[in-house]
Amino acid sequence: MNTVQKFGKRIKIERIMRDWTMEQLAEKAGLGTTTIAHVESGSSSPTLDTIEKLANSLGFKIHELLIFDDIEKFAQKK
């Protein structure tokens, strides 16, 4: 799994842990649902602006979203 895919999985896990739909996350972050889908699937690299919007909407600082420790463990739970 590359870094873009790990980031996408982290976003998806955080969204699911909050019981948010992609649409809800998109609205809170000021992004399109398609952008969320691309980020979560790891099919495109998000811009720094997108990463900042996602971090703010999820209550994180940017660097906190880039910590991928135990991502596989969390992924197995969801």
In the chain, the domains with their CATH numbers are 3-77 (1.10.260.40)
Tally the C-alpha atoms within 13 A of residue 35's C-alpha that lie toward its C-beta.
16
Q: Are 40 and 22 in contact (CB under 8 A)?
A: yes
pLDDT recorded at residue 15: 96
Strands (E) across the chain are located at none
- Per-residue pLDDT at 61: 94
Indicate the pTM of the whole model: 0.85
Q: Has residue 77 got a pLDDT over 60?
A: no
The two tokens of residue 37 are: 């889908």
Read off the pLDDT of each residue in 30-43 and give the average, rounded to a whole number.
97
Q: What is the pLDDT of residues 45-61, one digit of tens each?
A: 999 999 999 999 999 99
